[in-house]
Amino acid sequence: MPPAIRHLQSGLLALLTAIGGLAVLALLVHVSVDVALRSLRGTPIPATYEIVTHYYMVGLAFLPLAWVERQGGMVRIDVVHGMLPPRVQAVSDRMVTVISAVIYAVLAWVTLRTALTNSANGSFILTNGVRVVTWPAYWLPPVGLALAALVTTLRAIWPEPAADDMEPAA
């Protein structure tokens, strides 16, 4: 992989890691404060459940996909893979990577259409008299899936050699 693309990919994945870390921290603080207020004062934070399920959980499920794909940790064929000759293993790995990239891209497209529809409609939910705007959360899946498709496509174009395939530098 060219160094400029590797650098851009690393930067995007670092940004996703930071966003994921902030999301976990925000989830932890939000739920902890909600439980504390509910227990101590009997007044929970309104719409905590809705915010957790529509924002935190969706972001935590979809934004790390690209990072997981970069590590090669999503789709693997291990049952028979080790018994195949190295050349067949390489072809198998490439096919799985291409299929994964296509699936991510299709899912990104479908969820993008849903995000566009919900954004145009100004999607929200009403819970206990509190209006919670939900349309921004619909953008998390297409962003996460598109980045996973991009990372997987890059891996298909420039496969990384396995650690045991690398020869020491002379």
Give pLDDT tens digits for 66-116. Answer: 888 887 766 666 777 778 888 888 888 888 889 999 999 999 999 999 999
Q: What is the pTM of this model?
A: 0.81
Give pLDDT tens digits for 123-152. Answer: 999 888 889 999 999 999 999 999 999 999
For the residues of 103-161, what is the DSSP string, one character each? HHHHHHHHHHHHHHHHHHHT-EEEETTEEEE-GGGGGHHHHHHHHHHHHHHHHHHSPPP
